[in-house]
Structure 1
Amino acid sequence: MSEAEETAKVRRVWDRQAPEYDRQIQLLERIWFTGGREWLTSRARGRVLEVAIGTGRNLPHYAPGTDLTGVELSPAMLAVARRRALSLGCAAELHEGDAEQLDFGGGTFDTVVCALSLCAIPRPAAALAEMHRVLRPGGRLLLLDHVGSTWPPIYAAQWLLERFTIRSAGEHFTRRSLPLVRAAGFEIVEHERRKAGSIERLHARKPPAG
């Protein structure tokens, strides 16, 4: 499958899931991702880009007046995010776009946020390279995702689940963000793993110029 075909497949998957996504994820957010969105948004500063904004579930958690831009591959997910932004009175600029090919100049943003999405981006290293490019020197990268657990029985279950989810939806459960973030040239500022190591929160920094 070519890169373009793989990207189109991911777009179709999330277009199909968009109508039910919010309902399906509510329970997981209460018991598994608890506090993750608040953790991310409380650290966002300056001009913020949220990559793979989905249905906009982070929008209620940003500080009032945040200068926010969001990009999302799925038009159906983006439509839900736009309705949510309107209902909240949020002036975010929301665009259809690909995390692996961000349509912004280098050094445009002070903060890049990506929540529960690197797990399903086909080429996460390419996406992180783009996040690095669009951040100004010294800018912040804030990530939340589910990753391979540190507890072997849970890791084994995740590995088995992936045999289905990677083929059907491109979603990974044992993929780790930390080594990819380091390889992209970021410096780690904060790093937390929760829920038997299956949830990872990362705050990283693009090194200052010079």
Structure 2
Amino acid sequence: MHNAHTSTRHSEPEDIFRGRSSRVYDRATRWLLRGLYRRIAEDIADSAPDRATVLDVGTGPGHLVTSIARLRPDLDLIGVDLSPDMIAQAEQNLRPYGTRATARTADAADLPFADSSIGLIVSSYSLHHWDNPGAVVPELGRVLAPGGRLYIYDWRNAPFTKVDEAAREHGVLTGRPHRRTLIRTGTPVQPHVVRHVMTNPE
């Protein structure tokens, strides 16, 4: 479903996320998953600190970022994705929001951000694409500010337990007990999604 093009190695993105396929994907998800993006954006809009930097990992064509931008004009929004073609689509979609909503190519296991520089991280339908959650999780914990939250949305069978194990192993995202819930999206093609919330220690 969602973009999710993250990797723990510098490999080529899947064909569906390249070239003309990325443009078709952009148009399809824009309409089919509007309700899903809106539901997730509401979560993030309610939770993000004032004037925070919010990072969308596996942003694809940037539809979640645009949904958040409409609700929270005070936020600095950044989308990252492994696919240059998806980032090109995201840049077009984010253009109306100027410098407060940007996108860039990046590997989730090697993010180009300073320690503790991100106020909140969100990732939707990306986890099941991660080659090695054990490499991604400590990197997310590194860039996330103390007390910052990570919101992961994905299928029920996505490897959430591997994320929890990596967090314990590396001592990140252990600030509060992890919360995993099944929520309604209002989207017929994807009526439910698992929401997994983790918090960095203060």
TM bracket, shorter-chain basis: 0.7 to 0.9
Aligned with 1:43 (options 40, 47, 57): 47
Question: How far does residue 15 in structure 1 lie from its aligned partner after superposition?
Answer: 1.5
CA 1:60–1:9: 2 relative to 1, 3 Å: closer
**Preserved contact between residue 37 and residue 67 of structure 2 (Cα < 8 Å):** no
Q: Give the aligned CA root-mean-square deviation in angstroms.
A: 2.8
Question: How far does residue 40 in structure 1 lie from its aligned partner after superposition?
Answer: 3.4
Aligned with 1:78 (options 81, 84, 87): 87
Measure, in 1, the Cα distance between the counterparts of 2:149 and 2:143. Answer: 11
Measure, in 1, the Cα distance between the counterparts of 2:26 and 2:108. Answer: 21
* One-letter amino acid of the structure 1 residue matched with residue 64 of structure 2: N
TM-score with structure 2 length normalisation? Answer: 0.74
Question: How far does residue 83 in structure 1 lie from its aligned partner after superposition?
Answer: 0.7
**Preserved contact between residue 41 and residue 61 of structure 1 (Cα < 8 Å):** no
* One-letter amino acid of the structure 1 residue matched with residue 66 of structure 2: P
* One-letter amino acid of the structure 1 residue matched with residue 48 of structure 2: A
TM-score with structure 1 length normalisation? Answer: 0.71
Match of 1:204 in 2: 198
Question: How far does residue 38 in structure 1 lie from its aligned partner after superposition?
Answer: 2.7
Aligned with 1:176 (options 147, 159, 174): 159
* 1:8 paired to 2:26: no
SS of the equivalent of 1:8 reads: coil
> CA offsets, 1:106-161, max 9 Å, x none?
1111111111111112112211211001112111111111132xxxxxxxxxxxxx
* 1:114 paired to 2:123: yes
Match of 1:20 in 2: 24
Measure, in 1, the Cα distance between the counterparts of 2:31 and 2:92. Answer: 22
Measure, in 2, the Cα distance between the counterparts of 1:197 and 1:15. Answer: 27
Q: Which runs of 5+ in 2 are unaligned?
A: 1-7, 185-189
Aligned residues: 178
- Of stretches 196-205 and 122-131 in structure 1, the one that deviates more from structure 2 is 196-205
Question: How far does residue 57 in structure 1 lie from its aligned partner after superposition?
Answer: 0.8
**Preserved contact between residue 26 and residue 61 of structure 2 (Cα < 8 Å):** yes
**Preserved contact between residue 22 and residue 86 of structure 2 (Cα < 8 Å):** yes
Question: How far does residue 76 in structure 1 lie from its aligned partner after superposition?
Answer: 0.6
**Preserved contact between residue 53 and residue 120 of structure 2 (Cα < 8 Å):** yes
Question: How far does residue 11 in structure 1 lie from its aligned partner after superposition?
Answer: 5.3
